Amino acid sequence: MSEAVNGVLKGARRLPIVPLVEITLNRSAQYFLQRTARANRMVMDNQQWADYAFRLFEARQAEAIHHIVQKFDYNQQSASVITLSTTGQASRHFGMNASNFIPQYFSTRAYKKTYLGRFEPVYGEEYWDPVHFELVHNPTKRTRRGPGRDVTTRIRNEK
């Protein structure tokens, strides 16, 4: 979700504050609704994994066609290393389920859970939780010291 908000803010640079807030709210709500609809579609299609993981799995499976799985004997003390996709040929050859190797956060259930619920924007100050510290605005912190480059307080790395 944070990447979505980051993308929204990137598209709204150099705008006055009111349109910036409106664009951020509208785009975030649209993003939330689109992802909710996508999650519902994946559930209705009985899709096991999210779209990203499914595309990645299909790409790896296409690569796995060219991989070879060979058995070797430990007693012979010789083995050849052959590239193989864990979820591709090896899973088919040994009768394993490929979904055992895909993390649960790529599942459709986890994706739907991310966008479950309602999109609730933050309302006016009267709805905010009380703050237990004093907010101080110091405009001198933002002004330039003078002509030229600002002095940095960064500590340089040792050479």
* pLDDT on residue 159: 56
28 in Cβ contact with 6 (< 8 Å): no
59 backbone φψ class: left, alpha, beta (φ>0; ψ -120 to 50):
alpha
Q: What is the pLDDT along the chain (159 residues), one digit of tens a residue?
A: 566 666 666 666 677 777 877 887 888 888 888 989 998 998 898 888 888 888 887 887 777 776 665 666 667 766 554 555 444 555 555 566 666 777 888 888 888 888 887 777 777 778 778 878 776 777 666 666 677 776 666 666 665
* pLDDT on residue 86: 47
In sequence order, what DSSP letters do the residues of 103-119 get, joined into one string? Answer: -GGGBHHHHHHHT-S--
Provide the 10 A C-beta neighbour count for residue 77. Answer: 7
* pLDDT on residue 7: 67
Q: Where are the domains of the chain?
A: 1-46, 48-108
Percent helix / strand / coil, the chain, rounded to 5: 50, 0, 50
At 46, list the tokens. 């009985």
* pLDDT on residue 63: 76
* pLDDT on residue 92: 57
* pLDDT on residue 98: 66
Provide the 10 A C-beta neighbour count for residue 88. Answer: 20
* pLDDT on residue 132: 83
